[in-house]
Amino acid sequence: MINQLKQLQRIEPDADFLARSKKIILTASPKPEYIFQLRHAATHFFKVSFALGLMAVMLLVISGRFAPAPASLIASLNSKQLVRESTKYDFNLQLAEAQYYQEVDKQINLALNEIISNGKAGP
């Protein structure tokens, strides 16, 4: 089988093509070295910048300054939950109001009873 594969070594380009291609290639000139130096410098700069940026983010995460948004802030973005919460607060407010009036009623009753009892005890 290997010998069969080696038979494919007979595949060769046309001599005309080789001569023509070589002639065209050699009329061009190699790129100057400074282009590659500039390219290397740019690549190096981006690599270093990326590494430093990544390190800064990691430090922020480790130090805890770059924490995800608090749960309350995230919850405030949920409109359904907001509606639910507003209803709950209104309900709580009404309860507090009823409690207040109940207290006031008690105080008024106590005051009236005191006045009445004072009137009876008087001259």
Partner 1 sequence: MLAGEYKLIEEARQGKAEAFGALYDHYAKPIYRYIYLKISDKALTEDITHEVFLSAWQNIRNYKFQGFPFSSWLYQIARNRVIDYYRTHHESVDVYEIEETTAKLVSQPANLDPDLDLERVKRALHRLSPDQKEVIILRFINDLSPLEIAAIMEKSEGAVRLIQFRAISNLKKLLND
For partner 1, the closer of residues 13 and 122 by Cβ is 13
67 near partner 1, rule: CB under 8 A: no
22 near partner 1, rule: CB under 8 A: yes
65 near partner 1, rule: CB under 8 A: no
Binding segment for partner 1 among 21-29, 82-90, 97-105, 111-119 (CB under 8 A)? 21-29
- Interface residues for partner 1 in 25-64 (CB under 8 A)? 25-26, 28-33, 36
- The Cα–Cα gap between 24 and 42 comes to 32
Size of the site for partner 1 (CB under 8 A): 28
| List 9, 63, 79, 118, residue binding partner 1 (CB under 8 A) | 9
Q: How many CB atoms lie under 10 A from the CB of residue 121?
A: 7
Which among 37, 56, 35, 34 is positioned nearest to 45, based on CA atoms?
37
- The Cα–Cα gap between 94 and 102 comes to 12
- The Cα–Cα gap between 111 and 98 comes to 20
Q: How many CB atoms lie under 10 A from the CB of residue 49?
A: 10
**Given the rule CB under 8 A, which residues bind partner 1?**
1-14, 17-18, 21-22, 24-26, 28-33, 36
